[in-house]
Structure formats: structure tokens, C-alpha cells
Amino acid sequence: MAKSRFQTGDVIEGRYQVLSILGEGGMGTVYRVSDLIQEGKVMALKTLALALKRSDLVEYLRREFRILTQLDHPNLVQVYDYGSTLAGDFYLTMEYVPGQDLRQTVQCEGAAATLPLMVQTCRALAYLHTRQIVHGDLKPEHVLVVGQQVKLVDFGIAVDLQGGGGWSTHGTRGYTAPETRQRHQVDHRSDLYGLGAMWYDLLVGEPPSFFVGHDRLTYLTLREALAQRPQVPPIVAEIVAKLLAASPDERYESANQVIEAINRGTGSRYALETQETAASYALRGRFVGRQAEMAALETAWQQAQQARAQLVLIGGASGVGKSRLVEEFSIQAKCNGAWVVQGQCIESGGSAYQPWRRILRTLVRYLESAAAPLQERLRRRLVPLLPELHSPSAHKDADPFFVPARNSQAEQARLHGAIAQVIRQVAAMRPMLLVVEDAHWADEASLDLLDFLARDPALSNLLLCVTYRQDEIADDHLLATLSGRSVQRVTLRGLPPTATLELVRSLLGLQHLPAVLREQVQRITAGNTFFVQELIRSLIESQRILRRAPNGWQIDESALAQLSLPATIQQAIERRLTRLSPLARRALQVAAVIGPAFWDGAVGDIGRLSPDQLQDALHDLLDMDLIVEQAVSTVGREREYRIQHITVRNVVHESIPARQRKLYHERAAHWFVARWGDQAVEMAGQIAGHYEQAGALAQAAEWYAQAGKHALDTYAPEMAVRYYRRSLALMPESESALRRAAVYDGLGQAYLKQARLSDALEAYTVMRAIAKAAGSLPAQVRAGIGQSHVQAAQGDLEAALVNIEQVLDLARERPETHRELIQALLGKGWILHRLNRSAEALPCAEQAWTRSETIHDPVLMVRSLLLLGGIHSALGHTRRAVRAHEQALALCQELKNSECLGVVYNNLGVAAEDEGAYETAADYYRKAVDLARETEHYRGEMLYLNNLGGVLVRLGEHQAAIRVLRDVIRRQKDSRWFAFSHTYCVLAEALLAQGHPEEALQAARRAWTLATHTRQRLHLGATWRVLGMIAARMAAPVEIQGRPMKAEDCFAISLRLLTKIGAEQERSLTLQAWERCRLMG
């Protein structure tokens, strides 16, 4: 059963930690909470009482959220979020106002304090009423005062007159207008009665009583009660009494008329609107003209819940309303019980998966709050994106020297699979809307993930909305080409003329617009919603065209006709910026330098603003709607904000004098480095960009190199290449040759992970030349090892051998290069072993073992033992092979390296297979496969399955072998994989044993081609044996490259090859197969 009340310390939804109870009532409880996602930001959280979770009261809470999302005014409380816990508690979060209510304030400061507070309340009501909203429950407890500012709260029974609302019987006795109690139609004048009742209560000490049928008597009684209070000026009593008139027609027409009455009667000079409240009218207009687009999203939402997940790509020009469309749909989704999680792309300098990091952090919190923590395997996989998930007990990444190189695409696919699994787990708990904004700036890895999710048939209960600017992507961009049954497109264009005018009317609360204004708005803005709002804001702030009057906004048509309106959105923004104070302008300029997203601490440090100056500046920028606070901060203990629109940021950035801009960029880079500390590498691209803009090219080159390494670590080699190349382009000529060589080293690795082997070879070649010119033997050795690695990957083992021998000679010249010498010995031994020259490889492995044992390097010791074991196994030294592998096993267990253990178990399987102990070999291979899967070592898994398939053939389990081997072929994407020829060879043998000679011949031909191309003589010899078996079974020659080959010819070639390389076990198998064929005759 859901709890009706949370206790101090409880965490709601894995996010809101209860600090205290602010108030309890019949409808529910309001808590003061700390938002853990926003670094402890304090807010208020309102829940319904358990006993009152009726559908109508839940709807009141939901409606309060909906209404408040449409409003933005200094005297109204700000709403943040709405939702329900998994236990069924409905809640909404809003701005925490740490002040007193109106009654407490007046008790402390006296009746004289009511006048300015009532004026502020009138401004709030005037704003509400232009939006066709009636609050419906005005009373002193619903007006909070912090400092000297009023905040109107509790919109639980508010009515949206334009949305079909008309009356409500709810409210607080004594404050509710007579027409409400009598169930008559209500309008904004019902709030004016509530204003009078509240004011009366503050002056008299109790709310007024009203008796139906005694209107005149009640009116006289109220006037008498006010007159008996000497502290109440007669004019105030008159105003209050008029507000409390029983008939709405006898009250004031508007809240502004009340302010006018106060000014006339008391000689005060209260403005109908302050600059701040007047500007709020242009902040939030009614959502108009997007019915078709909303219907498309609603249809996609239904499909996502009924079948598989849906992806909606929302395209359009800047300012056309993409974000507002998503925001409105997000509000609707939250009200329907969904989780909404958002990620934001940035223009440049981001790390791989930039928008997904924030999304994943939120999803992990949801899982933890539901007592469904991530599995250890998923935690390990996500650590590159979310370093905080790392734990000391987590698997240690294997040293790349003794584990086969991982395929970058395969690793990325594994990462994407892990992300999809997290999304599936969260979506299984409740429907979810994921939003990725500004995807035209998305990095390649983020786009690849988007493509992956769009094609994942297992995703459901999920709608993924992606916004992007169509004019900023090429025709072949993924966002332009992505398609499929689960992909839908919504294209936004400028609002049609009728909707544009409706937006203007909603902003100003006017039903009729002068023709000159209608024409100007339509002509200039072309229906661009952001431009419309900027234009109206410009007119309001000019105070020449639009003036606030008691009955609403008045438009000076003659002045409008003479005024030169901004012709572009940039001009409109520039005019508004002229009204900023010097401190606010400086803060906004610093924010523009940092990027669309920025942090309060950064603005203070970079702009050299004191805490008070910073607070005032940010307050002004928020009030002018130039910036908005983000729900989640990516920097601990910092408030994160975002410049409201990219056009604002661009205009501001260009306005900064060049010299000052460079200084700000330099300070920004320093701030990121100092603030992020050890995690600064996550922001390396942005840091590099700031240094580049500052003209600090050496530092920029250094940080671009770090950004490249970080991209490599997060399986984004394409991004790594871009960062490394930028580093090289900016690196000064005076830069250290070793540092330049290190960048080429990283570039070579990035190319290698993309299988761009020629580019990788070029990078290592340049690296080697730089290292040679600098006289750095270690760097030359590393470059040479990289070259030989690439050449081996290209299948050119002979060239790789020549290269590694040169490297070995270099390494022997300097005793301090012992590690590089060991690596070169291992490289040469591995290549010779691959060339089936195992006897020559043995001394290399033995020397490597001796040297690594001398310096007691466990990693190099394991590598040496693995190579020794493989060589001894190939030479028929089975006991020595087993002993080497057992030593390696013990070391791997000491290192707690599961990937290494998988390699060892695989090699033990090879040794057991060489001895003919096929059952034992199969057990070892299965252990290796399990470890590879546990550590998500994709290529290791493929190799071990390949070997398992081979031993299953020896055991006569041909059907199982076929299943395993076909799985390897299906999953292995790299057609140049060295073991592929063995896969097809063994598959051919299994198919032949199952009575499928034609299929067997097809597989054997594929094996022959691969073995010939990769120069795998052992595999080639085994393939000729299988071809001989097929020819014997078919009693006819088999054709290889147009040559008919008889069975005996195939067996003879097999024997000759296997004898030449000393593969005695395989040679024995060929002799046995030939003899069987002769006997079959």
C-alpha cells in the first residue's frame, strides 16, 4: 500500500530527499525536499493524501501542473515537475518560497504593509486573467512573501476559461465568491472577490460572511466592520467593499483597475506593471497552431505502448518551435504517468555520447530507486560513459598486449546493447519519453546509438523524440536518411497567419489587434515563434507602442506606423540587450563564451563577479528570459543554466570585443581544468576549443590529444581521429617531438580500430620517422610494433616479420628499453608462430619470459607464458605447453584478470586437443567462452567458439558443431579475421559428416580462399584434407579456381604443406583420412 506521508530522509523517485514537512492539510502534504539530481537544489513537493487519491482530486493536481507550466510571472510560483511514484503517490514539485504567508507578514509589519502586497497580487491576477486563468482559491495562506516579493501559490482548483472550464464548487469558505457557491458561471471577477475577502481578513481578522438573499445587508455589515478599524483608511475600506460586491457586475472590471483605485485614493504611484512583470507577458504564449504535429506525436506514443518503440525525428529551422512542441508533449506525457528524460547535444567540443550521458545517469537513478540496481556486467560496460559506476571489485581492463585486439565496431555494439538494456529495464516499469535536443550537433557515436535503438525490436513502451535543424545537415546525414517501420518524421514550418495572430493575442491578452500590428508581425516574422515573442517583447520594453492601461494593453497605432521595427531576429535581440545592466551584460557574455550551457560558478570566476553581483546578474537574466535554469547539472555543486536560444548566444558572442573574448575563453579553459580535476578529460574537447579560441595553441593541441584518447576509450574512433588531427594541426613547430609522436601513436590506434589499415600504417610510419629524428628509441620501437601489427592485420606476415626484426635490433641497442625489447621479442615470436615457424619462435618466447621474470612484470610474464604454451603445443611438447599455461593461469588469477583467464583456458584446450583429450579440450573451451561472455570480450568469444566447434567435430557431435560454427560466421563481421579459414574448414567437415557434400564443398572453397589470402598454411593444409574427403565422398574431382582436383591430389597437397611446417598432428589426421578413403575405395 502506498504511503500517504514520507519521513525526513526518505528519497522519492530516487531523486527528491525529504528535508522537512512544510504543511499538512486535508488534501495532502507539502514537503521541503532536496533535488539530488540538481546538486541539492531545494524545492517544494506536494502530494495527495492517501485517502483522497480519487480520480477527481488527482486531476486537480494534474491540472495545477498543466496550468502552471503555461505561466511565467515574477509573482507566481514556478512549477518544475509532475509524476507518481511506483508505489502510487502522485506529486508535483515547484519553487520553494522560504518566506511567510500574507497573514504572518501583516501580523509582523502591520496593516500598512498590505497596500504594496495587494498591488503585487493584483499584477499577478492581471497576468492570470489575460491568460484566461482564474485562480479560484485566494486566501492569505496562498500568498507567500519572501523579502518584499509576493508569490501566489496553490493552483489546485484553478480554472482555464479558454480550456473549457467555467465553474467550480471547491474553494475555501469565507473567501469564495457568491457566484461560485451558487454554481453560476465564473470569470476573472470571482478572483477579485477573493482578493477583497483576503484583504478584508487581513484588516479585520476574519474572512467576510455572505448570506444568500441578504446581499444589501451583507454589504453594509462589511463596510461597518471596516469602518470600525481606525487603522483602515476610508478609501481602502471603499475599495475592499467594492471588491466584495455580491454581483460581479458591481466589482472592478480588472485587477489593474484596483491598482488605479489605490493610486487615486491614496495618492500612491504604483505602476500597473513593473519592467519585470511587463516583460513576462512575452515569455509564455499559448501553444497554438501545432494540432497536426501533436496528433502525430500522440499516435506515435500509442504505437510505442502497443507494439515496439517509436522514434520521431522533429525537424525545422531555428526558432520555429521544435523545443516548445516537445515541451508541451512532455507535459502531457508526465500527466499520463510517463517518465520524461532529456539529453542535450552541444555545438562543439563534446565527448562521445554527450546527450546520452545525462540520460543514462537519470535512468540509473530510476533503477536504483526501484531497488533494481544495474547488473555488474552492465555497470562494467557503462563505466566509459559513467565513470562513477566504477567500483574496485569491477573487472579490470585487460592489457591489450596479451589479449587479441578488440574490434571497435563490435565493442560499440556491445555498449549500445548495454544502453538498450538499461532503457528496456526502465521502460518496463512505466512508459518513457526520451528527448534528445539539437541532434544536428550530435557526435557520430550518439548518432550510431540512435540508429541502433531505432532498429532494436526488443524496445517497447518507449518514445524517442529527436529535434534537429534541417538546414544544418547534409542530404546524406543519418537524420536525413534514417527510416524504418518504427521511424516517423514531423517537420515544423512557420506558423500560418491565423496561428501567428492567435499567439500574439495570447501574449497580450487582447482579442482584437490593429491591422498595422497584424501586418507587421506576419510580414517580419514569417510565423517564426521565437521571433514573434522577441518582437512583442521589444514592443513592450520600448514603452512607446504598447502601454499597460487599467483595461489591458493599449497599442499606439500611429507610433507603431512610424517606428522602425527590427527586420531580423538578430536585430530584435540586439535591441533587448541594450537594456541590460553592465553586470548582467558581462555575465551573459561570459555565458556565451562558455557555450549554450553554463554554470554559475564559471560565470562568477571568469567574469570576476562577486557572489552578490553574480546573483543579481543571473536574476536579471532569468527575469528577462535570456537564460533558463536546467533541471540537471553536469557539474557537481554548480547550478547549470542554458542561454534561452542559440541565436541569443550567437548575437552576444559576436558583440564581445575580440581581445576580451580571447581572455574569457582562456579563463573558461582554466576553470574547466580546475573545476573538473581528474574528470576534466570528459570535457577535453571543450577545454581544447576554449584554448584554441584564446590563441593558446599549444594547450589546445594538448587537450585535443586528450580528447582523442578519451574518444578512443569510449569506442568513438571516428571522433578520436578528428581530435588527434586537430591536435596535430595546432601543434607548434617548437613542440616536443615525443609529444607529436604520441599523438601519431593515438591516431594510428584510432585508424586501426576503424580498420583503416593504410591510414594506420601511415600514422605509425610518420611516428617512427619523428621518433628517429628525435633519437627516441622507445618511441621508435612502439611505432615499429604498431607498423608490424598493422601489416599482420593486412595479412602481410612476411613484411611484419621484417619490420619487427628491425625493431628488435633497435631495442637491443639501449638497455633501458627493456620493456620495449620484451614487447618486440613477443611480437616477433607471435608472427613466427603465425607463420608456422614455431621452432624459430621458441627462442624469442624464452628470452621474453626470462627478461619479464627478471623485471617482475606480471603482464609481460603472462604474455610470454601464453606464447610459450602455444609454441610448445605446436611443436608437440604437450607437457611443456600445459606447464606454461598452468603458470599463466596462476598469474592471471593473481591479477584477477578474467580476459586473460579466458585466453589461458583456450590454450589449455588447444594443448588437450593436441593430446587427443577432446572431452577435456571441450570443457576448457567452454570455460573460455563463459569468461569471454562475462567480460564481453567479443573477439575472444568468437575464437573460443571457433575452437569449440572444431573439437566437437572430433567428438562426432557434428550437429552441435554446425550450430556453433554458423553462429560464429553470423556474428563475426570482420571477413579478414585470421581464424575464419579454420571456421569454414571445420564447418565443411561437419557438413560432410552430416551428409551434405554440396554445402560442404561450398564451405571448403571459402576456407581455401581465406587461408590462401591470409597465408594461413596450417589452415590451408587442413582445408586440402577436407577437399580430398569431399572429392572421395562425391567420387568426382572438386574444382578449385577452375582446376579439377582429385581426392588423392588434395590429400597429397595437404601432406606436403603440413610436413613443411611441421604440423604433425594435422599431418596425422590427413594420413588417417586418406587411408579411410582408400579403404572405401
Fold of 974-1080: 1.25.40
Average pLDDT on 71-78 reads: 92
- Considering only residues 86 and 991, tell me which one the structure prediction assigns the higher pLDDT: 991
Whole-number pLDDT of residue 1055 = 93
With vertex at residue 1039, the alpha carbon angle to CA 1034 and CA 1041, rounded to the nearest 5 degrees, is 160
Identify which has the larger pLDDT, 974 or 368. 368
pLDDT exceeds cutoff 90 at 708: yes
Give all strands (DSSP E) within 372-470, no chain letters: 432-437, 462-468
pLDDT greater than 60 at residue 213: no
Nearest to 418 by CA among 937, 945, 936, 941: 936
- Taking the C-alpha atoms of residue 795 and residue 877, their distance in angstroms, rounded to an integer, is 28
- CATH architecture of the domain with residue range 291-370+405-492: 3-Layer(aba) Sandwich (3.40)
Res. 212 pLDDT band, cuts 50 70 90: very low
**SS3 labels along 393-413:** CCCCCCCCCCCCCCCHHHHHH
Percent over 70 (pLDDT), the chain: 93
Question: What pLDDT, on the 0 to 100 scale, is given for residue 406?
Answer: 45
Asked if 6 and 49 touch (Cβ cutoff 8 Å), the reply is no
pTM over 0.85: no
How confident is the model at residue 55, as a pLDDT?
Answer: 67
504-552 per-position pLDDT tens digit:
888 888 888 888 888 888 888 888 998 988 888 888 777 777 777 777 7
Fold of 100-272: Transferase(Phosphotransferase); domain 1 (1.10.510)
Q: Which pLDDT does position 506 carry in this prediction?
A: 86
What is the CB neighbour count within 10 angstroms for residue 292?
Answer: 8
Select 580-656's CATH number: 3.30.413.10, 1.10.10.10, 3.40.50.12780, 3.90.1330.10.
1.10.10.10
Find the mean pLDDT for residues 203-212. 74
| pLDDT given at position 539 | 80
In order, the DSSP letters of 6-22 are PPTT-EETTTEEEEEEE
Residue 1040, strand partner residues: 1043
When pLDDT is cut at 50, 70 and 90, the band that residue 394 belongs to is: very low
- Give the range among 202-216, 646-660, 849-863 with minimum mean pLDDT: 202-216
Burial of 715 (0-12, 13-18, 19+ CB in 10 A): buried
What span, in angstroms and rounded, lies between the C-alpha atoms of 690 and 680? 13
Cell numbers that stand for 1014 in this block: 591470409
pLDDT at residue 164 tops 60: no
d(CA 225, CA 138): 21
Grade residue 321 by pLDDT with cuts at 50, 70 and 90: very high
Query: Of the candidates 61, 46, 133, 57, which has an alpha carbon nearest to the alpha carbon of residue 97?
Result: 46
Average pLDDT over every residue of 1034-1042: 91
DSSP structural state of residue 36? G
What pLDDT is stored for residue 825 in this prediction? 93
Query: Model confidence over 232-249: pLDDT tens digits?
Result: 888 998 999 999 998 899
Q: Is the model's pLDDT at 699 over the cut of 60?
A: yes
Q: Which of 52-56, 273-277, 1069-1073 has the lowest mean pLDDT?
A: 52-56
**Beta carbons of 774 and 766 less than 8 angstroms apart:** no
Closest CA to 535 of 509, 561, 571: 571
582 Cβ neighbours under 8 A, 6+ residues apart: none
Question: Which has the closest alpha carbon to 623: 27, 74, 31?
Answer: 74
Q: Is residue 696 over pLDDT 70?
A: yes
**Is the confidence at residue 640, as pLDDT, over 80?**
yes
Residue 124 in grid coordinates: 499577478
Q: How confident is the model at residue 398 (pLDDT cuts 50, 70, 90)?
A: very low
Give the pLDDT mean for 739-758. 90
Top-confidence residue, 435 or 546: 435
Domain ranges of the chain: 11-95, 100-272, 291-370+405-492, 500-567, 580-656, 974-1080
Q: 188 and 134 in contact (C-beta within 8 Å)?
A: yes
Q: Fold identical between 291-370+405-492 and 580-656? A: no
Q: pLDDT above 90 covers what percent of the chain?
A: 46
Pick the CATH number of 11-95 from 3.30.200.20, 3.30.70.1060, 3.40.50.800, 3.40.50.1970: 3.30.200.20
- Vertex 220, ends 215 and 223: CA angle to 5°? 125
Residue 872: closest CA among 901, 846, 890, 850 = 846
CA dist., res. 1041 & res. 103, Å (int): 98
Q: What pLDDT does 169 receive?
A: 54
pLDDT band at 1007 (very low <50, low <70, confident <90, very high): very high
> Does residue 217 surpass a pLDDT of 50?
no
CA distance 354 to 596: 14
Is the pLDDT reported for residue 765 higher than 90? yes
What is the pLDDT confidence band of residue 368, given thresholds at 50, 70 and 90? Answer: confident
CA distances from 617 to 600, 603, 628, 807 (A): 10, 10, 13, 62
**DSSP designation for 375:** P
- Rounded-to-integer distance, Cα 218 and Cα 922, Å: 97
Find, among 148, 759, 711, 139, the residue nearest to 408 by Cα.
711
